[in-house]
Structure 1
């Protein structure tokens, strides 16, 4: 009997894990958080691990990157959204969450490449939800 309950209990706990994770602020990005564009750059992974947000290197130029959201669990990265396709970011560019400006992508010299639009207020946190949205929360 114990051998039957153990797998059932494990399955039940796995079903509850996303609920516990969602309630504990998983997927939140704090003001001041940043990622730098490089071949081995880390990305911000969504709570479900279905999507990731960060830099994708261009296939035809290893020194240029686009800021993107892609399917994280599949072997061949499939981009579902990108921000700066018309002006790729050079190596060492940075995406940062800034309180009074939102998400800001700047080149290594600090020149603006792209930014999210926020009308008024200050950003408190950004949140990645499992429907592939990156939400910027304001005061």
Structure 2
């Protein structure tokens, strides 16, 4: 019985003193093959100009339209709904909030910011579709 326990202890010692260093060397070898940069250092592609930073308004398209204000709706509530509908669209540029003014004719003059020119009309359609539905009550 005692011999069996010493044999088990020998296997554990063999695993600890031989197996773990082999495992560590294997992991170190794989990391060397991948050649990952140390933590905190930038990859060479970024430091050589492989990535570029966009200008502040690059990729943003301003689109203006007029929307008739629903008769039964409070203008301030309608403005908040338009902002929410515009910002929840997939094509909205999230860095720029919509600019909304009341027009003299009783509607809203809205300027939204789309990600590009092609999606500006889709953003307008999303706002018009949302405003044509009755407001949700919380």
- The normalised TM-score by structure 2 is 0.21
TM-score (norm 1): 0.21
Larger C-alpha radius of gyration, 1 or 2? 2
Q: Which has the higher strand share?
A: 1
